[in-house]
Structure 1
């Protein structure tokens, strides 16, 4: 044993001894911080125990440099429990000390690893890389400096230096990718700390990996390792693929597709679905994709060839990880549920995040943290145990029967499966009767009086699942220890967990009034049977978080050292308030937030005309649809095609599209419609056929990049307010109203204004682009709230006039 004088400051020794004395001489658990000399200069009391034990507070332990506790006996020899904790924490570089009650002696079980001093990066030097004398300019004679890009790069560098939450709106054309990549690479290499860049689209991920990161690395003159990580469901599981081929419950065309995937899997280096030369059907890919619950890890016979393991090994020493929002949230969920922030979860450990396309954070988090079940999710898990198709019978029940001492219960399990399916059919009937002629229904104070049959069926399903899982668990208990590692046992346990979770969701629906932080709702979906004209409706049962702000604050903005959020559309009427409130940034101390607006260098004031026919009918008028159909056709004739027409409903789109086709096809203008082809092929056709017109809704309000003559006019048919009967919007609106707020002004309006900005942003994609944005919804000038939309746009030329004048101005602006 050694004296504590060299490891603790005198003040800390006295503080520890006093705390132990005040605790009756029992064991006390402390966490400590050390200085650059390895001396404990700060301690925190985390738990108190008895004379022989004290609990370890895991969440506090992972944030500490060293764990400290006393042995009241004075014998500082570590127990087996001490050694177990010490070994676990050593993986995080955390030390482990045992002291006596007077804090005069210490036994260092594990030496702490001193925290590396952060080395600030030179903000001015980062910015200078992008100026007229920098290496970018030297490599290209046509290089144009962008002052806003230079300022953005310096602000992001500062965010890393001071550990800030950076909220930066960067207009189209600023070049935000280079503005964040240069400080990201410099910080990662200088401080040997990994940075995660999270984006919303695969296109941006590929651009970063194939073009932007290599270019930024070259400008810095430093090599950096970056790895693109995808969710594991994007990768084929070789074990599951082999099993699927051995089974015979496929139609001939399914088997042919499986065999093609098998041949591809022999040669692919990537193993991801995007590397396939064709797009596999969802029903096939779901049978063979890698799944976390079904992964056997080190017990898998194909672990040495596993594509997921390969990319994880590759990422372990990467300085930059490129991920999508969904995968990042999967990692954060694991950390928030106990994995902590210092070790590997879904991703290797990291302390810095850049959210590109940060406007999509709330939608992405809402989607990820929602839970749901359908007939397909239920049947997939039941099918693990028993399924039949044509003359084939499959599933694990026969194998479990052979290896279990309780195999006699298998017949009861088969009967229980049929009971679960029967009860679920009744639940579907109850749900569809509630939805009735609509497409969704929400469980709330206003609807609960109608929900009794639904909740009764929910309880019946929960009980039926519990009976089945109880039988299977008893069967599994009858399997010898030597057989517990069998694949059939592991997969059965995974399927049980998923079935039990469906039962838990059923319970949560019944407890909805005690779970006001969630929205419980039903969505009606359509299923068209292959080869028949029959349409079948089925319900999807969903639990959605009422707000993602608390979990984003606690799981992202508070624990991570640096979080940079950037997008072209974060502000409403020149303010960040709405986005910051919805995402949880506003819950962070103001002095830790850096924000800024970095305007587009594009010449909107001369190259863009904002046109609004001010004499058309309002959207709630029965005359609006026929007027829209004829007006769109006239506008497309004025521009000669070259247009993107954005709708808020597919029904309105369909009618307008047919009218335009009849009128414009004879003129040689191709009319494309969302749904006629795969999104990527549709966009490629639109860009290649420069006179074509694309009618679209929903996802096409963002992510469309068609520079040049392919896009001369964007027509926005209606202001993009979400439909008021959207269950999640309803619940969030009610929550605002209940606290005395104005749901329209605080939620519906700013949400629509952000969407409107994204639609407007489809037009100008290059500095030389020019064109017209025409808005057919005259509420933008007739209603007081319309100024919120107008004030959120850059300065442009305008034409707010009768339709005939608008048509004349559009044609002469495009073809002077």
Structure 2
């Protein structure tokens, strides 16, 4: 039960915040604060602060304008401090993360009277490795041997004069404290391949044994995590920490109150995080280069005892794996029936194993590869341990400098071997009976590195993973977003996330007066999206009339082809007013659009799904949202196809359980681009008559906010 001191502290902080900001309480925000305080107050803990009651998970849908951040920060901070827990706020996007760190939390501290410290937690890959940066400059090609092994994975990392000049500037700015050493604070845009050369991961990092440890940007940032009351991070980092058992990067889950803002992304993020993938030709290529690297290393260094012997024994193991991968590639090509499809601008071919069940010969070959990668990984793990000891001066015959040079390369190779072991393990392991099966599939493609066959494995639901790693071990979790319900129910989110059945799910009211502020128009049309050419031609014909009534318009397409066809089908005078998403970075696109509006011009954005969520265009920047069609997912995604098959096998209807609810959520998100503040007004036009004619249309229509409806019909 919520105790009186905490209740009063929350009420006082909220009242002080509203008074300081000269705001009135929003009903949805008040309800959110009350629900979170009550849920956290009901947790029972033992004398050491460990939760002994049922898993505490609250799921709260709160629309735009509710003031979600204040709605969860005030009660969660008070309850976290009272229970001696840490508050971890996780977002799906950098934009929201930056807003919380730079604006929302300082505002709450300044205006509410609450006192707490906070910090930002980012993954190791966002920080430069000072050791690598120094080595690149000292030897220019010092890391080329390692990166060359992975060139077949899809990128080339050749050094050039401009990169070396960049690295020199970085090192100088870091040494003079002008730069913190993280990618986000570097003033200019960085190419991914430039950044890869100077960052690291846990397998390559020697930690406290590194000669640059005291200056390390990552470990300096880690120091702040030890003391901060509130940690702001992202879903990927939380999931990475949970995959390591929890407490490796962030505090132990049992000591955390988690808030997942933009929480509708969490189930899909979890699926991606626990998926496995490997390129057969690319893996064989880096194994061959890895063998040459080991041979070169042994030739240049007199490595004593077990260390040298282990590296010598590895080379034939690598050669065996290369041969087995070649045999696997030939066998899979002979067994698979590939279906061609387009992936962006490239044609690929996919074969999915029905119900995730692989043929016996594939399973047997996977057993061989699993054993080979496991053995090689284990041998390299021993080498890495020896090098670790050598960095402490514990191995006669190897000096610290030698060990520091070798450790990153050995660590990176060991991690790649471990990843391949995990992939082939999933092809040998039968799925637990009664549980959703894994999706397993192959993809053939021909790109800049030649022909390639890729092997994939992925869970189709994240429910059991999130239960085991988060919901059950965590002290408490709050999931919030503007789009957690689908077709008026939390069933979709429950199925995908596995939140405990007893979890409280609520929808808090939005402050927007949707009926007064906006109307939804479904015009009478001659075509439907299923008639793709006719629908595109009709869009070209009616689009000028839709774009001319407001200064700021956002047009959302589900297909890049249709977006481009409509754009190039318009006459030149209209094309000059349209900003096409593919022509600009997202940041540049929005900046140009706002500048056009500020200059008094008409500006129209043509975009795809990424502009249907997470962009903020208040007021005249967006007074009209045009949606080309109901955003149904592409039906050929292997994970979604496997989930559909599983539901069908149980006598369930995947179209009504997956396809329609998913489309409804995406449509709500797209409509959400219109009203960003309580003062906004405008119109949404949906160019898809299926909301009127199809049997599922009424369900989708009724799941939208209560806009005024203007559904046009032909006059007979």
| Interval of TM-score (by shorter of Structure 1 and Structure 2) | 0.7 to 0.9
Is 1:333–2:213 an aligned residue pair? no
Deviations along 1:350-383, whole A, 9 cap, x unmatched?
3311111111111111111112233667766776
1:373 aligned partner: 278
User: Alignment partner for residue 589 of structure 2, among 682, 685, 696?
Assistant: 682
Quote how far apart the aligned CAs of 1:300 are. Answer: 0.9
Q: CA RMSD in A?
A: 3.6
Q: Quick check: 2:57–2:504 contact (8 Å CA) kept in 1?
A: yes
Secondary structure of 1:206's aligned partner:
helix
Name the SS of the counterpart of 2:527 in structure 1. Answer: coil
Aligned to 1:239: 131
Is 1:315 aligned to residue 247 of structure 2?
no
Task: Identify the match of residue 549 of structure 1 among 459, 463, 468.
Answer: 463
**CA distance in 1 between partners of 2:545 and 2:714 (Å):** 9
Asked if the contact 2:593–2:605 (Cα under 8 Å) also holds between the matched residues in 1, the reply is yes
**Alignment match, 1:265:** 174
Going from structure 1 to structure 2, the CA distance change for 1:182 and 1:463 (only over 3 Å counts) comes to closer
Q: 2:447, 2:131 → 1: CA distance?
A: 30
Quote the residue 2:650 is aligned against.
739
Q: CA deviation at 1:481?
A: 3.4
Instruction: Report the Cα distance in structure 2 between the residues aligned to 1:275 and 1:562, rounded to whole angstroms.
Output: 33
Contact 1:440 1:727 in 2 (8 A): no
Deviation at 1:499, TM superposition (A): 3.7
1:784 aligns with 2:695: yes
| SS at structure 2 position matched to 1:312 | helix
- 1:264, 1:276 within 8 Å by CA — same for their partners in 2? no
Aligned: 1:504 with 2:421: yes
How many residues matched? 659
8 A Cα contact 1:688 1:710, kept in partner: no
Q: CA deviation at 1:244?
A: 2.5
- What is the distance in 2 between the residues matched to 1:443 and 1:506? 16
CA contact (8 A) 1:121 1:187 kept: no
Note the 1:119-138 alignment, pairs <5 A.
122-123=6-7, 126-127=10-11, 129-130=13-14, 134-138=15-19
| Paired residue secondary structure (2:474) | coil
The aligned residue for residue 48 of structure 2 is none
- Between the aligned partners of 1:259 and 1:381, the Cα distance in structure 2 is 32
| Larger displacement relative to structure 2 (408-417 or 306-315) | 408-417
SS of residue in 2 equivalent to 1:773: strand
Deviates more, 1:214-223 or 1:243-252: 243-252
1:767 to 678, 689, 707: 678
Return the match for 1:694 from 605, 616, 619: 605
Asked if residue 794 in structure 1 is aligned to residue 689 in structure 2, the reply is no
Displacement of 1:622: 4.4
Instruction: Give the one of 12, 31, 40 matched to 1:160.
Output: 40
Q: Provide the rounded CA distance (Å) in 2 between the counterparts of 1:365 and 1:125.
A: 35
- Partner in structure 1 of residue 121 of structure 2: 229
Alignment CA distance shift 1:781-1:468 (3 Å): same
The answer to whether structure 1 residue 200 and structure 2 residue 81 are counterparts is no
Deviations 1:507-530 (A, max 9, x none): 33642655763211234667558x
Structure-1 residue corresponding to 2:412: 495
Q: Distance in 1 between matches of 2:288 and 2:127?
A: 24
SS for the counterpart of 1:689 is helix
Q: Is the contact between residue 571 and residue 754 of structure 1 (CA under 8 Å) also seen in structure 2?
A: yes
What CA deviation, in whole Å up to 9, does each residue of 1:399-442 have, x standing for no partner? Answer: 55655678589788668767766775776687788545224634
Structure 1 residues 190 and 602: CA distance shift in structure 2, 3 A: same
- Kindly tell me: are residues 233 and 406 of structure 1, through their superposed partners in 2, closer, same or farther at Cα, counting changes over 3 Å? closer
Which residues in structure 2 correspond to 1:272-287 (within 5 Å)?
272-287=182-197
TM-score when scaled to structure 2? 0.82
TM-score (norm 1): 0.73
Q: State the alpha-carbon separation in 2 of the partners of residues 562 and 467 from structure 1.
A: 40
Q: 1:351 to 1:463 in 2, by over 3 A?
A: closer
2:439 to 509, 515, 519: 519
Find 2:522's aligned residue among 608, 612, 617.
612
Structure 2: distance between partners of 1:710 and 1:179: 27
